[in-house]
Amino acid sequence: MGAEKPRSCATYFENSKPYFAMILLQFGYAGMNIITKLSLNGGMSHYVLVVYRHAFATIAIAPFAIIFEWKDQPKITFSVFMQILLLALLGPVIDQNFYYAGLKLTSPTFSCAMSNMLPAMTFVMAVLCRMEIVNLKKLRCQAKVIGTILTVAGAMLMTLYKGPVLELMWTKYIPHSNANITSSSSKDNWFLGSILLIIATLAWSSLFVLQAKAIETYKNHQLTLTSLICFFGTILAFATTLIMENKDSVWTIGWDMNLLAAAYAGIVTSSISYYIQGLVIKKKGPVFATSFSPLMMIIVAIMGFFILAEQLFLGSVIGSILVVIGLYSVLWGKHKEQVECKVSPDDIPLPIKSARINGNMGAFSASFDKHSEVKLDQKEESNISLVIINYNRS
C-alpha cells in the first residue's frame, strides 16, 4: 500500500503537467498583450515592434534548429521558397501589424476576444477551399456551423455596439480610470480597431490553410521552418517599416518598455511557447490546447483593470460570451470528428506553435469519405493539418 501511494501521486503530478503548462502559457500570452499595449501607448511604432520581435525570435530559435535539425535538411526549391515567403508575409507582416494597430486603438481584452474568432474563421476558409466537407445531417457538423455563426455574431456585436460602461467593484478605486482610455476608445477608433483585428484574424487563418503544404516538406524540421519564417518575416517587416515610417528616430530603442515588449514577444511567445505547446499538443491533442484560449481573455481582462485602468463595455461582454460559446461549439465538433476518424493524440506529430496560439489549431483538418479507403499518408496529412504552425502574436 505504501508503494502504491507515491506511485499514484507521481501519476497525478504527471497527468497534471499539461494543465499547469497551458495555464502558465496563457499568463505568458496575457503578459505579452499588456506589455505590448503599454509600449504602443508609449509611442512605439507597431511596424518597428514587429521587426524587433521577429529578430529576437529568429535569434532565439535558430540555434536550436541548427543543433537538432541539421541533418537531412529539405532542399529549398523555388516553390518551397515562395511558400515560406508568403507565410512570412501573412504572419509576421500582415497579421501582426494589423493586430498591433487594432490593439492600439482598442484594448487588450477586446483584442483577445476578437482573436477567439480564429477557429471559426479557419473552418470557413477550409470549407471554401474544399478542405472541409460539411454534412448538416451530422451533429458535429451542425455544432461547427452554429458555432461559426455565434462567433461571427459575437464579433460583429463587439464591433458595432459598445454600450454602457460596466462599473465593477474594484474599478471604482482605480484612479484616472476614464482618462487613460478616452484617447484610444472613441467610437471611430474602436470601429477602425475592430476592422483591423478582423483583417488580422483573416490573415492568421489564411496562414493555417496555406501552411498545410509547407509542413509536408518540413514535417521533420519544424524548428527550421519556424526559423526561416521568422527570418524572412524580419526582412519583409523591415522593408515594410522603411516604406511606412519616414523618421529614423522610430528605430531608437533603449532599456525601456519598448525593448521589453520586443524581447518578451519574440522570446516568450515566439520561442518558449513553441516547445511547451508542442509537447502539450503531442500528448493531449490540439482540442485540449485550444480549450484554454478563453482563459487568456479573462486574465487579460483582470490585468487590464488593474494595470491599464481599462474600462469594460456591455457590448464587449455580451459579444465575448457569444464568441466563447461559438468557440467551444466549433471545438466540440472538431473533437467529435477526431473521435470518428479515430485520430489519437499520440499519432499527432510534434508541432511548433507560437503565440496567442491561443491554441486555435483545432479548427482546421482534412475530411475523408467514410465509405472510401483511407490510406496511411492521408491520415498523416490530416494529423499534420491539425497541428500546423501558428505564428501568433499573442
Per-residue pLDDT of the chain (394 residues; tens, 9 = 90+): 444 455 577 777 777 888 888 888 888 888 888 899 889 988 899 999 999 999 999 999 899 889 988 888 888 889 889 989 998 998 889 988 999 999 988 888 888 888 777 777 777 877 787 777 778 888 888 888 898 888 888 888 887 787 887 765 545 555 544 444 444 446 678 889 989 999 998 888 787 677 767 777 887 787 888 889 889 999 999 999 999 998 888 898 888 889 999 999 888 887 777 667 666 766 776 556 666 777 787 788 778 777 777 777 788 888 888 888 988 888 788 778 777 776 444 444 433 333 333 333 333 333 334 444 344 444 444 443 333 334 444 4
- pLDDT of 274: 63
Sole residue written with cell 483591423: 196
Domains of the chain, by residue range, sit at 19-347+356-386
Contact 121, 127 (CB under 8 A): no
Q: What residue spans of the chain are helical by DSSP H?
A: 4-41, 46-68, 78-88, 96-105, 108-115, 118-128, 139-160, 179-182, 187-217, 222-244, 257-263, 273-284, 286-290, 293-307, 314-340, 376-386
Cβ–Cβ < 8 Å for 274, 29: no
For residues 361 and 383, is the Cβ–Cβ distance under 8 A? no
Distance CA 103, CA 309 (A): 15
- Residue 52: the pLDDT is 94
- Rounded to the nearest 5°, which phi and psi values hold at 258? -65, -45
C-alpha dihedral over 387, 391, 393, 394, to 10 degrees?
Answer: 30
Predicted pLDDT of residue 9: 79
What residues contact 22, with CB distance under 8 A and at least 6 apart?
277, 280, 288, 289, 292, 359
Contact 345, 285 (CB under 8 A): yes
Closest by CA to 55, choosing from 377, 270, 256, 212, is: 270
Q: How far is CA 69 from CA 63, 160, 226, 283, 289, in A?
A: 10, 48, 12, 22, 25
Q: What angle do CA 267, 302, 268 make, to 5 degrees?
A: 5
Instruction: Compute the chain's Rg from CA coordinates.
Output: 21
DSSP annotation of 292 reads T
Q: Which residue type does 334 have?
A: K
Residue type, 113: A
Cell numbers linked to 275: 516547445
Supply the pLDDT for residue 212. Answer: 65
Q: Residue 186 has what pLDDT?
A: 66
